[in-house]
Amino acid sequence: MTLLAIRDVHKSYGALEVLKGIDLTVEAGEIVGFIGASGSGKSTLLRCINHMEAPTRGEVLLEGETVGVKKVGDRHVPRSSAELSQQRRKMAMVFQHFNLWPHKTALENVMEGPVVVQKIEREKARAKALAALARVGLADKADSYPSRLSGGQQQRVGIARALALEPQIILFDEPTSALDPELVNEVLAVIQGLANDGMTLIIVTHEMRFARDVCDRVVFLDKGRIADIGPPSHIFGATANARTQEFVRNYYG
Amino acid sequence: MEYDWNFAIVWDYRAVLLRGLLYTVMLAAITIVTSMILGLVLALLRGSKVPFVYPVISTMISVVRAVPVLVLLVWMYYCLPIITGLKLEGFTTVVIALSIYSSAFFAEIFRGGIQSIDRGHIEAAQSVGMTRGQVFQRIVAPLAFQRIFPPLVNQCILVLKNTTLAGYVAVPELLYLGQQISVRTFRPLELLTVVAVLFVVTIVPLTLAAEYFEKKYREKYFR
């Protein structure tokens, strides 16, 4: 079942064209990795999926519904703030710099979405949030403020915050890039766990080994285009694409 | 230099002075509330993407800030009735003039606070599905408030002290009454001293309370 369809997505900032026409579909339960050099457009593409960035051309469909815009006649008009919000919470996001809200505890960070957006009763939301924290191994840190948590712990809270929304997809934007090397694995282990549970994940990453081991499909972006795509055995092995080979070789060292 | 201080006379007028202090505090309280509300509205409008709103609001703020507050007050008291035919009471004029003046400053404080919020915190709120209003109410406002708290306290103190200008249009605030009494008693030095002390004992506890609140807040979230 196709969950997400990206159709001819372009994104420009002034004269700078970052995405030059991306087509991609993601099936339910699939783990897709975006790899590529800095400036290749992988983060921008991820941010176009939940309309954090509005594509300049093309469209993104979640279960057949255009994200961020809707068709009126044959024109695209922006969706209302409320409509876009409902779509966004189905595509929870995990950020490179965690972006936990510093004035809320770990538990409150996780509860915020269910309580404020989904209007779930406080007690139920609390139980749900605690379950999400337990799933990332941080039930004991529920009452800690983000400033008291390590980077790895903060990112796991970030993942719990995404999980509590019960999204259809989780979008990871370089989830381990801001972490000290010894903290990377605890975060990757959590993501691996989600993958094993059958969640649909899209992961922008520089962790090539992780992409190889966890992803069902890897997308190699180069200068705003999909230069290569396929299962890890293709990208990290059989591919005939010279750019992919060069990039992968550089990263493996 | 010899001067024969006589505070006994001041004591005779304690009721009048306290009434003046009460008036001053009331004037300041009303002005602070109205100018904060007005300032917040201006700050939010200034950030709006509707055409012309931004230049209009920022010009208004620049103009109001450029006029000395006393000039604004006296002008509103004497010129506005001539232009509009509307004669307002002294008290109302003072509240309006001080509110307009202070709101320009509050607006800039609020805008600074709102703009200082890390994009990432806003994006995280958007990503969990918050609407624009929810993002502001749940994330931006509390974080900005913590940041702008010191300048906010500062501005409130300025408003409190600016109320002394109300005397120019015969509104019986503390300094005005002090001057009236000094004219009658020929004791300006004593009265000025007492007025100064009364301002200090009003403002310093507020400052201390603000510092305490800020310390608690920081300890709680940002240790």
Identity of the residue numbered A125: A
Q: Which structural domain, as residue segments, surrounds residue B39?
A: 8-222
Residue B155 within any structural domain of the chain = yes
Alpha-carbon distance A12 to B204, whole Å?
55
Residue B3 within any structural domain of the chain = no
Measured between alpha carbons, how far is residue B60 from residues A130, A135, B151 in Å?
50, 53, 21
Instruction: Centre a 10 Å sphere on the Cβ of residue A52 and count the other Cβ atoms it contains.
Output: 19
Sheet strands side by side (includes A169-173): A91-94, A169-173, A200-204, A31-35, A217-222, A225-230
Q: What is the pLDDT of residue B221?
A: 73
The residue of chain A with its CA nearest to that of B129 is A85
Instruction: Please report where in the chains the tokens 């502001």 appear, as a residue.
Output: B136
The residues in A 108-127 lying below 8 A from B, measured between CB atoms, are: 112-113, 116-118
Q: Find the CATH number of the domain harbouring B53.
A: 1.10.3720.10
Whether B144 and chain A come into contact, CB under 8 Å, resolves to no
- Least CB–CB distance from A101: residue in B134, B139, B222: B139
**Which residues lie across from B34 on neighbouring strands?**
none
Q: What is the pLDDT of residue B222?
A: 66
pTM: predicted TM-score of the whole model, two decimal places: 0.86
Interchain CB distance below 8 Å, B127 and A52: yes
Q: Quick check: A138 and A144 in contact, CB under 8 A?
A: no
Cα angle A238, A242, A243; round to 5:
110
Number of A–B residue contacts, CB under 8 Å: 81
Each residue of B51-82: pLDDT tens digit?
888 888 889 889 999 999 999 999 999 998 89
Q: What is the pLDDT of residue A251?
A: 78
Give residue B48's region: left, alpha or beta (phi > 0; psi -120 to 50): beta
Whether B202 and chain A come into contact, CB under 8 Å, resolves to no
Instruction: Please report where in the chains the tokens 């549970």 appear, as a residue.
Output: A197
Q: What is the pLDDT of residue B85?
A: 85
Q: Quick check: A18 and A44 in contact, CB under 8 A?
A: yes
Residue B128 within any structural domain of the chain = yes
Instruction: Centre a 10 Å sphere on the Cβ of residue B49 and count the other Cβ atoms it contains.
Output: 6
Alpha-carbon distance A138 to A130, whole Å?
9
To the nearest whole angstrom, how far is the Cα of B130 from the nearest Cα of chain A? 6
The residues in B 9-68 lying below 8 A from A, measured between CB atoms, are: none
The residue of chain B with its CA nearest to that of A86 is B129
Burial group, residue B158, by CB count within 10 angstroms (0-12, 13-18, 19+): middle
- Least CB–CB distance from A102: residue in B126, B129, B222: B222
Q: Quick check: A55 and A241 in contact, CB under 8 A?
A: no
Name the DSSP class of A80: P
Q: What is Dmax (Cα atoms) for chain A? A: 55
Q: Contacts of residue A91 in chain B, CB cutoff 8 Å?
A: 127
Interchain CB distance below 8 Å, B221 and A145: yes
Mutation choice for A interface testing from B127, B132, B146, B221 by most A CBs within 10 A: B127
Q: Is the pLDDT of residue A98 over 90?
A: yes
Domains of chain A in start order, with CATH, are 30-53+81-252 (3.40.50.300)
- Check if the interface score ipTM surpasses 0.85: yes
Name the DSSP class of A115: I
Q: What pLDDT band is residue A25 in, cutting at 50, 70 and 90?
A: very high
User: Within chain B, which residues score under 70 in pLDDT?
Assistant: 222-223
Q: Quick check: A103 and B221 in contact, CB under 8 A?
A: yes
Measured between alpha carbons, how far is residue A47 from residues A80, A205, A217, A227, B16 in Å?
18, 14, 19, 19, 66
Q: Structurally, how many domains does chain B consist of?
A: 1
Each residue of B155-188: pLDDT tens digit?
999 999 999 999 998 889 999 999 999 999 999 9
Q: What is the pLDDT of residue A81?
A: 87
Q: What is the pLDDT of residue A253?
A: 53
Number of helices followed by number of strands (H, E) in chain A: 9, 12
Measured between alpha carbons, how far is residue B223 from residues A104, A144, B61, B63, B188 in Å?
13, 11, 37, 41, 50
Q: Quick check: A91 and A169 in contact, CB under 8 A?
A: yes
The residues in B 82-121 lying below 8 A from A, measured between CB atoms, are: 118, 120-121
Measured between alpha carbons, how far is residue A229 from residues A17, A192, B66 in Å?
21, 21, 61
Residue B101 within any structural domain of the chain = yes
CA dihedral A207, A210, A216, A220 (to 10 degrees): 20
Residue B174 within any structural domain of the chain = yes
Q: Which of A4-13, A72-81, B59-68, B198-207 has the lowest mean pLDDT?
A: A72-81
Q: What is the pLDDT of residue A146?
A: 94
What value does the mean pLDDT of chain A take?
A: 92
Which tokens in the block code for residue A151? 């980077």
Whether B220 and chain A come into contact, CB under 8 Å, resolves to yes
Strands A65-66 and A75-78: unpaired
Cα angle A208, A209, A211; round to 5:
60
Interchain CB distance below 8 Å, B127 and A86: no
In sequence order, what are the residues at sequence separation of 6 or more whose Cβ sits closer than 8 angstroms to the Cβ of residue B172?
B19, B20, B23
Q: Contacts of residue A161 in chain B, CB cutoff 8 Å?
A: 124, 128
Residue B150 within any structural domain of the chain = yes
Percent of chain A surpassing pLDDT 90: 81
- Least CB–CB distance from A116: residue in B120, B130, B142: B130
